[in-house]
Amino acid sequence: MNNSLLEQINKEKLPNHVAIIMDGNGRWAKKNGKERTFGHKSALGSVRSSIEACRKLGIKYLTLYAFSSENWNRPRLEVNVLMTLLSSAIKDEINDLHKNGIRLNVIGDFSKLPSKAQKDLTKAMDLTKDNTGCILTLALSYGSKEELLNAFKSIAIQYKNGVISDNDFNEELVHKNLYTHDLPMVDLMIRTSGETRISNFLLWQIAYAELYFTDVLWPDFNEEEFYKAILNFQNRERRFGKISEQLTN
């Protein structure tokens, strides 16, 4: 790894919350003459690298798009392999995560996951629930439109039951009813593999995020690539609707 990249990063100007669309496992496998499932198995190293980069920099929140609600439509064999990999990865990695003070979190329709995956994830989340380091969130069986729809349904029920009134309707109310109610808004969203779509990921939460797209396929995304994304983020001017002159006054 090129340590000079890490040295160039201004630790006073870091994103608080980084979200990643981990894309390109299948293409990486095909490029290497392997089955798609080989790409998924080879992706764990990039997850480790991203977690380690966050730990070194002191980035508090990392959210990974691990399995979308649309991914259930993939071939049954591939879905089964992914779910098996999920359980084995949690078992293999959870002790190191816990040792490093990382708290595991999950967002999405948890009930759709296989019972074994639910059990392994619940056990891992319980083990790490008091950790105060980086919060690692896995988006599993997750779709942002579904999340928003569920939030609006919940708000409608609260209104119907008199729990909230007209005066309570604001952005904070929506935020409180999202899967990510205990997470801050995303500052930097990274997508690998050269695709430039959001793919139904955190649509509300990335309203003012900086978007970073790289041609690097996910299994090749290492610490150095993560630092490149951070440096790119730091070279942007985040105005939040204001003009440049207002930011300097």
Half-sphere exposure in the Cβ direction for 5 (13 Å, CA): 15
String of DSSP letters for 211-246: EEE-SS-GGG--HHHHHHHHHHHHTS---TTS-HHH
Given 2, 23, 130, 131, which residue is catalytic? 23
Could you give the CA distance from residue 205 to residue 203 in angstroms, rounded to a whole number? Answer: 6
**Tally of helices (H runs) and strands (E runs) in the chain:** 10, 6
Could you give the CA distance from residue 106 to residue 116 in angstroms, rounded to a whole number? Answer: 15
Instruction: Give yes or no: 92 in active site.
Output: no
Instruction: Give yes or no: 23 in active site.
Output: yes
Given 2, 16, 25, 71, which residue is catalytic? 71
Half-sphere exposure in the Cβ direction for 215 (13 Å, CA): 0
Query: Which residues carry out catalysis?
Result: 23, 71
